[in-house]
Amino acid sequence: MKRWFAFLLTCALLGSAAAQTLTVYSSVDEANARKILSAFTADTGVKVSMVFLSTGPALSRLEAEANRPQADVWFGAPVENHVIAAERNLVEDYVSPQAHELAAQYRDSKGSWYAIYTNPLALGVRTDLLAKRSAPVPRSWADLLNPAYKGLIQMPSPQTSGTSYELILTLVKLMGEDQAFEYMKKLGPNVQTYTQSGTAPSAALGLGGCAIAIQFTPGFLELADKGYPVDVVFPKEGVGHEVAAVSIVKGAARAAEAHRLVDWIISQKGQQAMVAAKTYFLPIRNDVSAGKGVPSLADIKLVESDAAYAAQNRKRLVNRWLKDVLGQ
Protein backbone atom coordinates (compact mmCIF):
# COMPACT_ATOMS: atom_id res chain seq x y z
CA MET A 1 0.00 0.00 0.00
CA LYS A 2 2.85 2.36 0.89
CA ARG A 3 4.57 1.62 -2.43
CA TRP A 4 1.35 2.32 -4.32
CA PHE A 5 0.90 5.59 -2.47
CA ALA A 6 4.51 6.56 -3.21
CA PHE A 7 3.96 5.74 -6.89
CA LEU A 8 0.83 7.89 -7.04
CA LEU A 9 2.60 10.74 -5.26
CA THR A 10 5.53 10.58 -7.72
CA CYS A 11 3.12 10.65 -10.69
CA ALA A 12 1.29 13.60 -9.19
CA LEU A 13 4.53 15.52 -8.64
CA LEU A 14 5.75 14.78 -12.17
CA GLY A 15 2.38 15.80 -13.59
CA SER A 16 2.42 19.00 -11.56
CA ALA A 17 5.94 19.83 -12.79
CA ALA A 18 4.90 19.22 -16.39
CA ALA A 19 1.84 21.40 -15.97
CA GLN A 20 4.06 24.18 -14.62
CA THR A 21 6.49 24.07 -17.55
CA LEU A 22 5.74 26.68 -20.19
CA THR A 23 6.69 26.09 -23.79
CA VAL A 24 7.79 29.40 -25.26
CA TYR A 25 8.54 30.16 -28.89
CA SER A 26 11.03 33.00 -28.52
CA SER A 27 11.89 35.48 -31.24
CA VAL A 28 14.08 37.37 -28.78
CA ASP A 29 17.73 36.45 -29.36
CA GLU A 30 18.64 33.33 -27.42
CA ALA A 31 21.09 34.88 -24.95
CA ASN A 32 18.74 37.66 -23.86
CA ALA A 33 15.67 35.43 -23.90
CA ARG A 34 17.41 33.05 -21.50
CA LYS A 35 18.34 35.94 -19.21
CA ILE A 36 14.75 37.21 -19.06
CA LEU A 37 13.04 33.82 -18.81
CA SER A 38 15.51 32.61 -16.18
CA ALA A 39 14.67 35.69 -14.10
CA PHE A 40 10.97 34.85 -14.52
CA THR A 41 11.54 31.29 -13.33
CA ALA A 42 13.63 32.45 -10.36
CA ASP A 43 10.90 34.90 -9.35
CA THR A 44 7.83 32.71 -9.91
CA GLY A 45 9.00 29.10 -9.86
CA VAL A 46 7.45 28.47 -13.28
CA LYS A 47 9.83 26.47 -15.47
CA VAL A 48 10.22 27.38 -19.13
CA SER A 49 11.12 25.28 -22.16
CA MET A 50 12.28 27.69 -24.87
CA VAL A 51 12.49 27.18 -28.62
CA PHE A 52 14.26 29.97 -30.50
CA LEU A 53 12.62 30.92 -33.80
CA SER A 54 13.08 34.06 -35.87
CA THR A 55 9.93 36.02 -36.61
CA GLY A 56 8.96 34.42 -39.93
CA PRO A 57 9.54 30.80 -38.92
CA ALA A 58 7.75 31.37 -35.60
CA LEU A 59 4.64 32.70 -37.31
CA SER A 60 4.73 29.85 -39.84
CA ARG A 61 5.02 27.24 -37.12
CA LEU A 62 2.16 28.72 -35.09
CA GLU A 63 0.00 28.57 -38.21
CA ALA A 64 1.04 24.98 -39.01
CA GLU A 65 0.27 23.92 -35.44
CA ALA A 66 -3.00 25.84 -35.12
CA ASN A 67 -5.11 22.68 -34.75
CA ARG A 68 -2.71 21.18 -32.22
CA PRO A 69 -0.69 23.91 -30.47
CA GLN A 70 2.77 22.90 -29.29
CA ALA A 71 3.61 26.22 -27.60
CA ASP A 72 1.93 28.32 -24.94
CA VAL A 73 3.50 31.72 -25.56
CA TRP A 74 5.05 33.63 -28.44
CA PHE A 75 7.71 35.85 -26.88
CA GLY A 76 9.28 38.65 -28.90
CA ALA A 77 9.03 39.67 -32.60
CA PRO A 78 7.84 43.13 -33.65
CA VAL A 79 4.24 43.88 -32.74
CA GLU A 80 2.87 43.84 -36.30
CA ASN A 81 3.55 40.10 -36.41
CA HIS A 82 1.40 39.60 -33.32
CA VAL A 83 -1.30 41.66 -35.06
CA ILE A 84 -1.10 39.19 -37.97
CA ALA A 85 -1.26 36.27 -35.55
CA ALA A 86 -4.39 37.75 -33.96
CA GLU A 87 -6.00 38.28 -37.37
CA ARG A 88 -5.30 34.60 -38.19
CA ASN A 89 -6.82 33.50 -34.87
CA LEU A 90 -3.51 32.05 -33.67
CA VAL A 91 -3.42 33.85 -30.32
CA GLU A 92 -6.01 34.52 -27.67
CA ASP A 93 -7.07 37.59 -25.72
CA TYR A 94 -6.01 38.01 -22.12
CA VAL A 95 -6.66 41.17 -20.11
CA SER A 96 -3.83 41.35 -17.62
CA PRO A 97 -4.38 43.10 -14.29
CA GLN A 98 -1.19 45.05 -15.16
CA ALA A 99 -2.60 46.27 -18.50
CA HIS A 100 -3.87 49.63 -17.22
CA GLU A 101 -0.32 50.54 -16.16
CA LEU A 102 0.93 50.55 -19.79
CA ALA A 103 0.57 53.36 -22.32
CA ALA A 104 -2.06 52.61 -24.97
CA GLN A 105 0.51 52.11 -27.75
CA TYR A 106 2.09 49.29 -25.76
CA ARG A 107 -0.94 47.00 -25.52
CA ASP A 108 -3.80 45.72 -27.59
CA SER A 109 -7.14 46.93 -26.28
CA LYS A 110 -8.50 43.35 -26.26
CA GLY A 111 -5.32 41.87 -24.80
CA SER A 112 -4.18 39.88 -27.84
CA TRP A 113 -0.62 41.23 -27.37
CA TYR A 114 1.47 43.31 -24.96
CA ALA A 115 4.72 45.14 -25.64
CA ILE A 116 7.73 43.89 -23.70
CA TYR A 117 10.48 46.28 -24.87
CA THR A 118 11.41 48.69 -27.64
CA ASN A 119 14.66 49.27 -29.54
CA PRO A 120 15.79 51.61 -32.33
CA LEU A 121 17.58 50.52 -35.49
CA ALA A 122 21.21 51.55 -35.75
CA LEU A 123 24.50 50.95 -37.50
CA GLY A 124 27.18 49.10 -35.56
CA VAL A 125 30.58 50.20 -36.88
CA ARG A 126 33.98 48.62 -36.24
CA THR A 127 36.06 51.78 -36.28
CA ASP A 128 39.34 49.83 -36.32
CA LEU A 129 38.42 47.88 -39.45
CA LEU A 130 37.30 51.01 -41.30
CA ALA A 131 40.47 52.84 -40.26
CA LYS A 132 42.58 50.07 -41.83
CA ARG A 133 40.81 50.75 -45.13
CA SER A 134 40.92 54.53 -44.67
CA ALA A 135 37.14 54.49 -44.92
CA PRO A 136 35.00 57.03 -43.04
CA VAL A 137 32.44 56.16 -40.36
CA PRO A 138 28.99 56.40 -41.99
CA ARG A 139 26.58 58.89 -40.45
CA SER A 140 23.54 58.44 -42.69
CA TRP A 141 21.67 55.90 -44.79
CA ALA A 142 22.97 57.72 -47.87
CA ASP A 143 26.56 57.24 -46.68
CA LEU A 144 26.17 53.44 -46.83
CA LEU A 145 26.18 53.59 -50.64
CA ASN A 146 29.88 54.61 -50.55
CA PRO A 147 31.84 52.10 -52.72
CA ALA A 148 34.45 52.02 -49.94
CA TYR A 149 32.06 49.73 -48.03
CA LYS A 150 31.80 47.10 -50.78
CA GLY A 151 31.35 43.71 -49.12
CA LEU A 152 31.70 45.15 -45.62
CA ILE A 153 28.05 45.30 -44.50
CA GLN A 154 25.90 42.63 -42.90
CA MET A 155 22.16 42.96 -42.39
CA PRO A 156 19.30 40.50 -41.85
CA SER A 157 16.98 39.22 -44.55
CA PRO A 158 13.34 40.35 -44.34
CA GLN A 159 12.32 36.83 -45.40
CA THR A 160 13.03 35.62 -41.89
CA SER A 161 13.75 38.67 -39.76
CA GLY A 162 11.35 41.24 -38.34
CA THR A 163 14.39 43.47 -37.80
CA SER A 164 15.01 43.76 -41.52
CA TYR A 165 11.33 44.31 -42.24
CA GLU A 166 11.46 47.27 -39.86
CA LEU A 167 14.33 48.63 -41.96
CA ILE A 168 12.18 48.38 -45.09
CA LEU A 169 9.36 50.23 -43.34
CA THR A 170 11.82 52.91 -42.20
CA LEU A 171 13.23 53.50 -45.68
CA VAL A 172 9.76 53.52 -47.26
CA LYS A 173 8.65 56.15 -44.75
CA LEU A 174 11.76 58.26 -45.35
CA MET A 175 12.05 57.96 -49.13
CA GLY A 176 8.79 56.67 -50.54
CA GLU A 177 8.38 53.07 -51.64
CA ASP A 178 9.93 53.18 -55.12
CA GLN A 179 12.97 55.18 -54.02
CA ALA A 180 13.44 52.94 -50.98
CA PHE A 181 13.65 49.83 -53.13
CA GLU A 182 15.97 51.56 -55.57
CA TYR A 183 18.19 52.49 -52.62
CA MET A 184 18.25 48.91 -51.31
CA LYS A 185 19.16 47.64 -54.78
CA LYS A 186 22.08 50.08 -54.94
CA LEU A 187 23.13 49.02 -51.45
CA GLY A 188 23.34 45.37 -52.55
CA PRO A 189 27.00 45.35 -53.72
CA ASN A 190 28.08 46.66 -50.30
CA VAL A 191 26.21 43.89 -48.47
CA GLN A 192 28.43 40.93 -47.68
CA THR A 193 25.53 38.73 -46.59
CA TYR A 194 21.86 38.85 -45.60
CA THR A 195 21.62 36.86 -42.38
CA GLN A 196 18.70 34.67 -41.32
CA SER A 197 18.68 35.98 -37.76
CA GLY A 198 18.10 39.60 -36.84
CA THR A 199 20.98 39.53 -34.34
CA ALA A 200 23.58 37.68 -36.41
CA PRO A 201 25.14 40.89 -37.83
CA SER A 202 26.26 42.10 -34.38
CA ALA A 203 27.81 38.69 -33.67
CA ALA A 204 29.80 38.97 -36.91
CA LEU A 205 30.76 42.54 -36.01
CA GLY A 206 32.22 41.37 -32.71
CA LEU A 207 34.25 38.67 -34.46
CA GLY A 208 35.50 41.11 -37.09
CA GLY A 209 33.59 39.31 -39.83
CA CYS A 210 32.15 42.60 -41.07
CA ALA A 211 32.90 46.27 -40.55
CA ILE A 212 29.32 47.59 -40.55
CA ALA A 213 26.20 45.87 -39.28
CA ILE A 214 22.56 46.92 -39.43
CA GLN A 215 20.10 45.76 -36.77
CA PHE A 216 18.49 46.89 -33.51
CA THR A 217 20.81 48.38 -30.90
CA PRO A 218 21.22 45.81 -28.07
CA GLY A 219 23.97 43.75 -29.70
CA PHE A 220 25.94 46.89 -30.54
CA LEU A 221 25.51 48.41 -27.07
CA GLU A 222 26.74 45.18 -25.51
CA LEU A 223 29.85 45.11 -27.70
CA ALA A 224 30.64 48.75 -26.87
CA ASP A 225 30.05 48.07 -23.16
CA LYS A 226 32.52 45.17 -23.31
CA GLY A 227 35.23 47.38 -24.81
CA TYR A 228 35.04 46.48 -28.50
CA PRO A 229 35.98 49.33 -30.89
CA VAL A 230 32.34 49.74 -31.93
CA ASP A 231 30.47 52.97 -32.59
CA VAL A 232 26.69 52.93 -32.44
CA VAL A 233 25.43 55.25 -35.17
CA PHE A 234 21.85 56.45 -35.62
CA PRO A 235 21.57 57.58 -39.27
CA LYS A 236 20.75 61.28 -39.34
CA GLU A 237 17.71 60.87 -41.64
CA GLY A 238 15.97 58.96 -38.86
CA VAL A 239 15.55 55.36 -37.68
CA GLY A 240 12.64 53.06 -37.14
CA HIS A 241 12.25 51.20 -33.90
CA GLU A 242 10.76 47.87 -32.99
CA VAL A 243 8.18 47.30 -30.33
CA ALA A 244 8.60 43.64 -29.43
CA ALA A 245 5.54 41.92 -28.03
CA VAL A 246 4.28 38.83 -26.26
CA SER A 247 1.06 36.93 -26.90
CA ILE A 248 -0.60 33.76 -25.66
CA VAL A 249 -1.04 30.97 -28.18
CA LYS A 250 -4.65 30.02 -28.81
CA GLY A 251 -5.42 26.72 -27.10
CA ALA A 252 -2.34 26.95 -24.86
CA ALA A 253 -2.16 23.91 -22.60
CA ARG A 254 -0.61 25.94 -19.79
CA ALA A 255 -2.77 29.06 -19.94
CA ALA A 256 -2.46 29.89 -16.23
CA GLU A 257 1.36 29.89 -16.42
CA ALA A 258 1.19 31.85 -19.69
CA HIS A 259 -0.87 34.50 -17.90
CA ARG A 260 1.78 34.66 -15.18
CA LEU A 261 4.52 35.29 -17.74
CA VAL A 262 2.55 38.11 -19.36
CA ASP A 263 1.71 39.67 -15.99
CA TRP A 264 5.34 39.46 -14.89
CA ILE A 265 7.08 40.79 -18.00
CA ILE A 266 4.90 43.91 -18.22
CA SER A 267 5.10 44.59 -14.49
CA GLN A 268 7.59 46.99 -12.93
CA LYS A 269 9.38 44.02 -11.36
CA GLY A 270 9.67 42.14 -14.65
CA GLN A 271 10.82 45.18 -16.60
CA GLN A 272 13.41 45.98 -13.94
CA ALA A 273 14.64 42.38 -14.07
CA MET A 274 15.06 42.73 -17.84
CA VAL A 275 17.23 45.83 -17.32
CA ALA A 276 19.20 44.23 -14.47
CA ALA A 277 20.02 41.26 -16.73
CA LYS A 278 21.83 43.68 -19.10
CA THR A 279 19.72 42.91 -22.14
CA TYR A 280 20.24 46.50 -23.35
CA PHE A 281 16.53 46.63 -24.23
CA LEU A 282 14.55 49.82 -23.63
CA PRO A 283 11.70 49.22 -21.13
CA ILE A 284 8.11 50.10 -22.05
CA ARG A 285 7.28 51.44 -18.59
CA ASN A 286 8.03 55.04 -17.62
CA ASP A 287 8.79 53.98 -14.04
CA VAL A 288 11.74 51.78 -15.10
CA SER A 289 15.09 53.23 -16.18
CA ALA A 290 16.89 51.71 -19.18
CA GLY A 291 20.18 51.72 -17.28
CA LYS A 292 23.63 53.20 -17.80
CA GLY A 293 24.87 53.39 -21.38
CA VAL A 294 21.48 52.74 -23.00
CA PRO A 295 20.26 55.71 -25.06
CA SER A 296 16.90 57.37 -24.49
CA LEU A 297 14.42 57.31 -27.37
CA ALA A 298 13.97 61.04 -26.75
CA ASP A 299 17.57 61.60 -27.94
CA ILE A 300 17.14 59.75 -31.27
CA LYS A 301 15.38 60.92 -34.44
CA LEU A 302 12.70 58.25 -34.73
CA VAL A 303 10.62 57.23 -37.73
CA GLU A 304 7.21 56.00 -36.63
CA SER A 305 5.55 53.17 -38.53
CA ASP A 306 1.94 52.07 -38.42
CA ALA A 307 1.44 48.54 -37.03
CA ALA A 308 -1.70 47.94 -39.14
CA TYR A 309 0.07 49.07 -42.35
CA ALA A 310 3.10 46.95 -41.46
CA ALA A 311 0.95 43.88 -40.91
CA GLN A 312 -1.18 44.33 -44.06
CA ASN A 313 1.78 44.98 -46.37
CA ARG A 314 4.38 42.56 -45.04
CA LYS A 315 4.00 39.85 -47.68
CA ARG A 316 3.85 42.34 -50.55
CA LEU A 317 6.90 44.34 -49.42
CA VAL A 318 9.00 41.25 -48.68
CA ASN A 319 8.11 39.80 -52.09
CA ARG A 320 9.08 43.07 -53.71
CA TRP A 321 12.41 42.97 -51.87
CA LEU A 322 13.05 39.47 -53.23
CA LYS A 323 12.23 40.62 -56.77
CA ASP A 324 13.79 44.10 -56.85
CA VAL A 325 16.79 43.65 -54.56
CA LEU A 326 17.74 39.97 -54.92
CA GLY A 327 16.38 39.58 -58.43
CA GLN A 328 14.35 36.48 -57.55
pLDDT in tens, 278-316: 999 989 998 998 877 788 777 889 998 787 898 899 999
DSSP H helical ranges for the chain: 2-20, 30-44, 55-64, 79-87, 127-132, 162-175, 177-187, 200-207, 218-225, 255-265, 268-276, 307-324
pTM: 0.74
- Cα–Cα nearest to 285, from 109, 106, 111, 112: 106
Q: Are residues 288 and 196 in the same domain?
A: no
Residue 10 has pLDDT above 80, yes or no: no
Q: Are residues 249 and 154 in the same domain?
A: no
Q: How far is Cα 179 from Cα 217, in angstroms, rounded to an integer? A: 25
Q: Are residues 126 and 81 in the same domain?
A: no
Q: What is the mean pLDDT of residues 196-225?
A: 95
Q: What is the pLDDT of residues 91-114, one digit of tens each?
A: 999 999 999 999 998 999 999 999
Q: What is the mean pLDDT of residues 11-24?
A: 60
- What CATH number did the domain enclosing 148 receive? 3.40.190.10
Q: What is the mean pLDDT of residues 232-258?
A: 96
Range of the domain at 317: 120-241+302-324
Q: What is the mean pLDDT of residues 164-185?
A: 97
Which pLDDT band, with edges at 50, 70 and 90, does 3 fall under? low
Q: Are residues 195 and 318 in the same domain?
A: yes
Q: Are residues 195 and 263 in the same domain?
A: no
**Lowest-confidence segment of 32-36, 168-172, 292-296 by average pLDDT:** 292-296
pLDDT of residue 208: 97
> Is residue 240 within 8 Å of residue 303, measured between CB atoms?
yes
pLDDT of residue 293: 76
Which pLDDT band, with edges at 50, 70 and 90, does 263 fall under? very high
Q: Are residues 7 and 98 in the same domain?
A: yes
pLDDT of residue 307: 78
What's the total number of domains in the chain? 2
To the nearest whole number, what is the mean pLDDT of the chain? 91
* Bridging pattern class, strands 191-195 and 153-156: parallel
